[in-house]
Amino acid sequence: MSEPWKKLGRELADELDERPGEAEELARAKQAVLREIARPKRRAPVVWAVAAAAAVALAVGVGYRARGGDVSYAVVTSGAPVAAPAGVWLDVPEGEERAVQFSEGSTVLLAATSRARVSAVRPDGATVTLERGRATVSVSHRPGASWSFLAGPFDVRVTGTRFELDWDPAKELFLLAMQDGSVRVTGPTLGDGATLVAGQRLRVSLRDGAVPAASSASPRPSAEIVPLPASSTAPSDAVPSARRAPVDDAPPTWRDLAARGEYGKAMTAAEADGVASILGQGSAADLLLFADVARFSGKPALAREALLAVRTRFPGSQQAALAAFSLGRMGGGEALAFFERYLAEAPNGSLAREAMGRVMELQQAGGNAAGARETAKRYLARFPGGPHAALAKALVGAEPDGGAGRVLE
């Protein structure tokens, strides 16, 4: 290896090693490892929600540990740790997320604008009430574990599993998508309850019995359980037969394929469905997902079209702001305007730090030294330790008449 490469490699390795909190991080990891290997094997040791929550926890230096007795928990955000005693409502602001990390490893990731609380904690689990919004849940599989998730009139009983839970009180719409394990759901229209297993999705609309799914079954049922991918291993007796939708042989949709990361196949399936239909009638989430599919299958122009469709069809929404950020990331002459648009629409959004950094970079690149300095000041005030802090400091320190190129002393 030549000397410049060796030197840079060493510098970068040193930079990586300087990350603070390693000892505490390893101590927590050791405790978790010893706890885990003392248990029977579970199917999915780490899921993305846990990883995301742990990453956030690391970023803010939040620690937690079991103390015996009831499970404990901490709420972590991208800003500051929040201690939340049992019973306190958690209102997730627009453009942000909240992760509730339990001491025994379970995680509840609350999406933007959700409202939820941990209404009870016990030695064997907890009860979480989702008043509105979306929760991505990962419950550690432990012998005797008992967890309950309340969403409106529905009760989801869990021992160890992963799933996404949505409750929209305005529309009285309940959605549950299983990723792993099984749950037992009770509530209106479900009779004695329904058991869902990995790969199934339950939708219940209490308002008028309508199911806002692609199903064209008539008359429309008030509750429907459908398998997610065609390869679902759901046992046939897992749900009451009267409510099982007749779609067992359906091929995977482009959404299913996208969720698996098979973007090329997803694009083929989407084209078969009709791209115009997706762009004109798809939900905001569908459009964002479709843009993802388009980008990763090598069709950036189509991705851009989908993102612009989000902005024109869902103005003012969180997804529209996210689309603006994504459009900015795609570069081109409008990148700066899109990043600024994101900041205007989601000033406290989870991508605000990055968007502001990009604005600063693009202003500097475009020769707008004064604008870049102003952005740099705002950046340092909000994100003094952010990834663009060095550039911001240099910009602020540069002479006003020094030109855009003179930034680093």
- State which of positions 44-103 bind another protein (CB under 8 A): 45-46, 48, 50-52, 54-55, 57-58, 61-65, 67-68, 72-74, 81-84
Tell me if 359 contacts another protein by CB under 8 A.
no
Q: Could you say which residues in the range 243-282 bind another protein, by CB under 8 A?
A: 260-261
Closest approach, Cβ 128 to another protein, in A, equals: 16
For residue 212, the minimal CB distance to another protein (Å) is 23
In the bound complex, what is the minimum distance in angstroms from residue 408's beta carbon to another protein?
3
Taking CB under 8 A as the binding criterion, the range among 3-11, 170-178, 208-216, 247-255 that sits at the site for another protein is 3-11
Least distance from C-beta 164 to another protein, angstroms? 14
Tokens, residue 19: 């990350």
Q: Please report whether residue 399 would count as binding another protein according to CB under 8 A.
A: no
Q: Identify which of 105, 100, 106 has the alpha carbon closest to the alpha carbon of residue 85.
A: 100
Angle made by CA atoms 199, 203, 207, in degrees to the nearest 5: 175
Please name which of 190, 163, 158 lies closest in space to residue 178, comparing C-alpha atoms: 163
Find the binder of another protein among 5, 192, 236, 276 (CB under 8 A): 5
Residue 254 burial (C-beta neighbours within 10 Å; 0-12, 13-18, 19+): buried
In the bound state with another protein, the residue whose beta carbon lies nearer, of 6 and 207, is 6
Nearer residue to another protein within complex by CB, 78 or 195: 78
Map the footprint of another protein across residues 313-332, applying CB under 8 A. Answer: 322, 326, 329-331
| Rounded CA separation 54/107 (Å) | 9
Residue 28 vs 243, nearer CB to another protein: 28
Q: What residues between 109 and 128 interact with another protein by CB under 8 A?
A: none
Q: Which stretch binds another protein (CB under 8 A): 18-26, 118-126, 130-138, 198-206?
A: 18-26
HEC readout, 223-238: EEEEECCCCCCCCCCC
Read off the amino acid at residue 362: L
- Length of the chain, in residues: 409
* Cβ 36 to another protein shortest distance, Å: 5
394 is an interface residue for another protein by CB under 8 A? yes
- In the complex with another protein, the residue whose CB is nearer, 239 or 395, is 395
114 contacts: CB under 8 Å, gap ≥ 6: 90, 92, 98, 130, 132, 133, 134, 135
Our finding on whether 9 is near another protein (CB under 8 A) is yes
Q: How far is the CB of 15 from another protein (least distance, A)?
A: 4
Pick 207 or 348: Cβ nearer another protein: 348
Nearer to another protein, 213 or 330 (CB): 330
Give the binding range for another protein (CB under 8 A) out of 24-32, 174-182, 197-205, 222-230: 24-32
Residue 81 buriedness (CB in 10 A; 0-12 / 13-18 / 19+): middle
Please choose, from the candidates 167, 160, 162, the residue with its C-alpha nearest in 3D space to the C-alpha of residue 187: 167
The one segment of 30-38, 124-132, 242-250, 266-274 that binds another protein by CB under 8 A:
30-38
Shortest Cβ 400–another protein spacing (Å): 17
Q: Per residue in 196-214, is it b (16+ CB within 10 Å) or e — as a string?
A: bbbbbbbbbbbeeeebebe
402 binds another protein (CB under 8 A): no
- Point out which residues pair with 154 in neighbouring strands: 151
Sign of the four-CA dihedral 34, 36, 37, 40:
positive
Q: Which two tokens stand for residue 44?
A: 């999915």
Pick between residue 204 and residue 352 the one whose CB is nearest to another protein: 352
Q: How far is the CB of 353 from another protein (least distance, A)?
A: 8
Rule CB under 8 A: which of 291-310 touch another protein?
292, 296
For another protein, the binding residue among 41, 301, 316, 399 (CB under 8 A) is 41
